[in-house]
Structure 1
Amino acid sequence: MEKTPDGQTTIDKVLSNAGRSKGLLDAVYNETYLARDQVSFVMNPIECLTDNAFWAATYNAYEWHNGSLSLSNPVINWAWSSPSEQLWPDYWRGIRLANNAIKYLPQSTAITENERAIWIAEARIMRCWYYMQLLEFYGPMPWIEEPFEPTYTGWNELVRPSYNDLVTKMEQELMDVINSRILPDRQPSQEARHVDNGVAYAIRARILLYNASPLNNPENDKNKWQRAADAAEDIIKLPYYKLVPMTDYKKLFVGAFGTPVSEIIWRSWADNSAINNTNGVDGGSYPYANINHMWNCGESPTQELVDCFEMKNGAFPVTYNDANRTSVTVTPGAAALGYSEATGGDPYANRDARFEVNIVHNMTNYGIPYNCTQPYIIETFVGGRNGFNDVISQETQRSCTGYYSGKDKQVKFWGPAGSMGHEPTYWVFFRLAEFYLQKAEALCELGDLGGATTALNAIRERALQPRIQDVPGFVNSQEFIRERIRNERRVEYCLEGQYRFVDQRRWKVLDKTNRFITGMRITQGNDGKFSYQRKKIRDYQSFTNKYLVMPIPLEDAKKMTGMLQPEAWR
């Protein structure tokens, strides 16, 4: 009887065929998470595991903030999969596939020497990309340069390196690729999916910042901060990237993949515009046409995030009067520009220009849906078309915080009778602004306050905000400038990916930021005036040291007895 083909291909058949040889590299890229609402859970952005956004319902974000993270429950998983764990095996799979490409591509007889050199260089950068992901969640891991054979038995001999040792090894690897000049500093638009020297520089800079941060640098080694500052400067001085003006800010996140954007260093190549249906505004409540309802409003910005956006004069809007952050005093600088939470007041006018891009709030003109003529005006007040939802235990099309996420969303996703405007959304992995703020942070920690404020002001001035020296109450101290740099990172990168998730951990501020979150419950009187009530949405249990670094999943920890769990898990 004839044997049914099992679909497997031997390595010699791969290496004797150009397309299959290229497949070794393609497989490496295929392990990349391409949608930011797929990392934490299906449709659940990782921003919801921070104090920036709230996700209603009893799914992963609820469990995370309920304190359910444990050796046997990674929480960040897809429960119906087997195994349910996602990040840990996926990132290791990416490393293994990179090692396969690096090992076997030199043996291919079907590709040119130039192709071989380019593909191996890309695989080496991608290997560091996956190691960086492991660093962000699980801490330093053994550097593996050979794919494990099926007969490998040395799991117990693997040991966790120091954070600095792994970062140093990764830096050497990346600089070796950069200095080889095999790859371009920036890929042409038709090759934008593929990594280049700019991506290598970006990975290097980010991991050096992690290495210098309080979580991984408790002795505050100044040399680590200097390495981080220098790495950021290496990217800033590259001639291929520049900050986009504020008028083009939205184009960082919405627009055709093939259209180059000067600020973007690397981004996903898969259209993620469906995020409008899972983490945006319900188009079905549009009063002028029959538009399909969305599934879930998903990530709803918190009042804490809203309060981080300055007024146009650089003043913070409020100070908190109580531990629950439900009673506030309006700052003099905010009052001067009309900020008011009194009945009939307006707390949303004259804010940082990024506020309107990121935060969809009460009475926002959201724009005109596809194939429509009238603007969609957002009504988050109780009883409004996007009205406040007091029920936090189930999926909802209406926000439980009084706000909706706007950064990578756009009203033209929606149109009558299921039509859509087909404006794609792409998750940005690296953009130039990050490295101005990295340079500012590193120089601040080195005591170079002048250099820190210069780098910080590059981002502030792009956002049309005053120089930090000109904000109300400015103090030329390390503590003041540090806090404003941290706030700038939160504002510039909110609702964009893993930045806040990592920043809360590397700064070791979880115990201060992740105890609860609040929202704004707005009601409208018979006279049409709005009243504002700050409301605590939910208490969190995700602020302990066990949430600083995720544990190695239990089953793998049993196999790798030489690997130490993070300190809080021992």
Structure 2
Amino acid sequence: MKKICLTIIMGLVIVFLNGCEKVLEKTPDGQTTIDKVLNDFARSKGLIDAAYNEVYQARDQIAFVFSPLESLTDNAFWAATYNPYRWHNGSLSLSDPVITWDWSSPNDQLWSDFWRGIRLANNAIKYLPQSTVITEEQRAEWIAEARVLRCWYYMQLLEFYGPMPWIEEPIEPNYAGWNELVRPGYDEIVTRLESELLDVINANIFKPRVGAVDAKRVTNGIAYAIRARLLLYNASPLNNPENDRTKWQRAADAAQDVIDLPSYRLVPMSEYKRLFIGANTTPVDEIIWRAWTDNSHINNTNGVDVGSYPFASISHMWNCGESPSQELVDAFEMTNGALPVTYNDATHTTVTVTPEAAALGYSEATGGDPYSNRDARFYINIVHNMYNYGVPYNCTEPYIIETFVGGRNGFNDVISQETQRSCPGYYSGKDKQVKYWGPGNSGEGNEPTHWVLFRLAEFYLQKAEALCELGDPDAAATALNVIRERALQPRIQDVPGFANTQEFLRERIRNERRVEYCLEGQYRFIDQRRWKILNETNRFITGMRITKGGNGQFSYQRKKIRDYQSYTDKYLVMPIPLEDAKKMTSMLQPKAWQ
């Protein structure tokens, strides 16, 4: 189920890079000419509406089949031999982008979709000035929206494929310059995008959103957020090997610009779940931009199977999908700020419990409990053994999770087929809700689920990271503590073993990003690459195999789930797909692919 895009494409516009010589797409009636578009209000407005259509709406509809990008990282595991299996098997190549949608033709996903978004934005920017049926105010605002959307799609390309040439005109059929397109420097294209965004911001064109119709529309806040994220990527080790301090300063300043916006504030921990559950038209102060299409089906493709509920007849789910790894579980601190364990060897299967975690009751010994007194975010993100998942729709008794072998959600030892039971022994809970399930049809009692594209917490953590790299640990800790204190965790200065050093803070800031943004989209996927840590993190993944004795006590065994081959430099930046690479001979592949 891939999102369907209705695009208004004029006769002078070619499909850019989705097959450079593809025949022209037409408007829905197959007859509409450009003058009919520009002389009709609905069709003119369709130019900007089409530019929004390539913004992904569901985080589990990027990699076939319903696999979130999280499963391509060390945060989560996806059973069966679909794309995540191939990705981690080292299958990525010039002829196999792996992140594909195999029910579609062509089946490539990211590359073509992002370029299509740029093309549609360019259509709007070029043709809206010629429309005779829209007001000047509408013209100015829609063109500004298209310019920001164009930057959004460029940012997506940067995240996966590296810097791409700046294209600001729809490519015409007689275009003959494919072989002249060259890859710019990373800083060069980021600086160009920043200039574009600041130009729109400083024009102060956008009006406040009003009601459901405007819920998805671009604002200055979104433009500021795109700029800040771009500048963080630009400063990161992957793209800043010389560690240019000015890039880190630009990133810190851009993060502060977002923080200073008056429209946003962090929600308290008591409202944290509302970031991910609730109607798109209901304002949440922390959210800067979120997808506008309901993604509730993710409960059926990447959640918990409630079909074994003992008190009513409930349908089984399709697949548990992304299942959190033990490594992700280990990243969640205890309530006193201590990390729970240290690894004794390279396999992560034998550990030493930290004294501060043991003091709060953490134990993996038989009869022990490794899940009490953890960071409050743990209980929102990680569905674990004996977890009270809540009461299904139209029911009265809670559903208690049993991940032990033989339990209703018991540990799955088979990794080669899709499954309703988790292989690592955990389930994803962040944007899931038990009331999606109930007797009869699913999806009747739940609230909508919308993928969050930007929220304010990101920019406190960006500021902390940038200030840390600038050698200002005190200021970095101050920014970091804003997020920690919202999560009811101790200030970083108060955690066991605190050291006021760049190295200590860097590791804890990175861990904070992992915890705060786990199971939420692209963050871990991009962070592993921009920090150049794939070689450290993507070698394998482990889980917790729990058994229940006759006395009712649980025994815990850490188990390697699978070795990975997705840690080489070839996985840092994806290659240009082979067929387009053949047409653009001057566009160099990323270094590892040359």
- What CA distance in whole angstroms lies between the structure 1 residues aligned with 2:406 and 2:150? 51
Matches within 5 A, 1:197-276: 197-276=220-299
Residue 290 of structure 1: aligned partner: 313
1:395 aligns with 2:395: no
Deviations 1:223-262 (A, max 9, x none): 0000000000001011110000000000000011111000
- What CA distance in whole angstroms lies between the structure 2 residues aligned with 1:315 and 1:441? 20
Residue 526 of structure 1: aligned partner: 550
Residue 32 of structure 1: aligned partner: 55
Contact 1:58 1:393 in 2 (8 A): yes
- What CA distance in whole angstroms lies between the structure 1 residues aligned with 2:589 and 2:570? 11
Residue 308 of structure 1: aligned partner: 331
Change in Cα spacing, 1:407 to 1:125, as seen in structure 2 (3 Å) is: same
- What CA distance in whole angstroms lies between the structure 2 residues aligned with 1:355 and 1:554? 42
Q: CA deviation at 1:60?
A: 0.2
Residue 495 of structure 2: aligned partner: 471
Deviations 1:110-163 (A, max 9, x none): 100000000000000000000000000000000000000122111001000000
Contact 1:189 1:260 in 2 (8 A): no
Contact 2:64 2:101 in 1 (8 A): yes
- What CA distance in whole angstroms lies between the structure 2 residues aligned with 1:263 and 1:556? 40
- What CA distance in whole angstroms lies between the structure 2 residues aligned with 1:166 and 1:335? 50
Residue 82 of structure 1: aligned partner: 105
Q: CA deviation at 1:422?
A: 3.2
The residue type paired with residue 384 of structure 1 is G
Matches within 5 A, 1:53-202: 53-184=76-207, 187-190=209-212, 191-202=214-225
Runs (4 or more) in structure 1 with deviation over 6 Å come to none
Residue 541 of structure 1: aligned partner: 565
1:561 aligns with 2:585: yes
Residue 387 of structure 2: aligned partner: 364
Q: CA deviation at 1:192?
A: 1.7
Q: CA deviation at 1:493?
A: 0.1
- What CA distance in whole angstroms lies between the structure 2 residues aligned with 1:263 and 1:242? 5
- What CA distance in whole angstroms lies between the structure 2 residues aligned with 1:395 and 1:158? 42
Contact 1:214 1:508 in 2 (8 A): yes
The residue type paired with residue 547 of structure 1 is Y
Contact 1:74 1:553 in 2 (8 A): yes
Secondary structure at the counterpart of residue 558 of structure 2: strand
Q: CA deviation at 1:189?
A: 4.4
Deviations 1:256-284 (A, max 9, x none): 11110000000000000110000000010
Deviations 1:22-78 (A, max 9, x none): 000011101111000011223110100000000000000000000000000000002
Q: CA deviation at 1:6?
A: 5.9
Residue 385 of structure 1: aligned partner: 408
Residue 424 of structure 1: aligned partner: 448
Deviations 1:501-538 (A, max 9, x none): 00000000000000000000000000000000000000
Change in Cα spacing, 1:188 to 1:242, as seen in structure 2 (3 Å) is: farther
Contact 2:291 2:453 in 1 (8 A): yes
Normalised by the length of structure 1, the TM-score is 0.98
- What CA distance in whole angstroms lies between the structure 2 residues aligned with 1:233 and 1:225? 12
Deviations 1:149-198 (A, max 9, x none): 122111001000000000000000000000000014x5344312001100
- What CA distance in whole angstroms lies between the structure 2 residues aligned with 1:328 and 1:187? 51
- What CA distance in whole angstroms lies between the structure 1 residues aligned with 2:42 and 2:424? 51
The residue type paired with residue 173 of structure 2 is P
The residue type paired with residue 209 of structure 2 is Q
- What CA distance in whole angstroms lies between the structure 1 residues aligned with 2:433 and 2:534? 32
Structural RMSD (CA): 0.9
Contact 1:510 1:543 in 2 (8 A): yes
Q: Which moved further from structure 2: 118-127 or 6-15?
A: 6-15
- What CA distance in whole angstroms lies between the structure 2 residues aligned with 1:450 and 1:320? 29
- What CA distance in whole angstroms lies between the structure 2 residues aligned with 1:256 and 1:97? 28
- What CA distance in whole angstroms lies between the structure 1 residues aligned with 2:583 and 2:104? 21
Q: 1:42 aligns with which of 34, 46, 65?
A: 65
Residue 18 of structure 1: aligned partner: 41
Secondary structure at the counterpart of residue 261 of structure 2: coil
Matches within 5 A, 1:500-511: 500-511=524-535
Q: How many residues align?
A: 565
Q: Which moved further from structure 2: 412-421 or 19-28?
A: 412-421
Secondary structure at the counterpart of residue 518 of structure 1: strand
Contact 2:411 2:422 in 1 (8 A): yes
- What CA distance in whole angstroms lies between the structure 1 residues aligned with 2:421 and 2:473? 44
Contact 2:65 2:82 in 1 (8 A): no
The residue type paired with residue 331 of structure 1 is T
- What CA distance in whole angstroms lies between the structure 2 residues aligned with 1:449 and 1:23? 49
Residue 505 of structure 2: aligned partner: 481
- What CA distance in whole angstroms lies between the structure 1 residues aligned with 2:34 and 2:284? 40
Where does the alignment leave 5 or more consecutive residues of structure 1 unmatched?
Answer: none
The residue type paired with residue 130 of structure 1 is Y
Contact 1:311 1:352 in 2 (8 A): yes
The residue type paired with residue 502 of structure 1 is I
Matches within 5 A, 1:454-465: 454-465=478-489
The residue type paired with residue 187 of structure 1 is R
Q: 2:476 aligns with which of 452, 455, 458?
A: 452
Contact 2:64 2:102 in 1 (8 A): no
Secondary structure at the counterpart of residue 115 of structure 2: helix
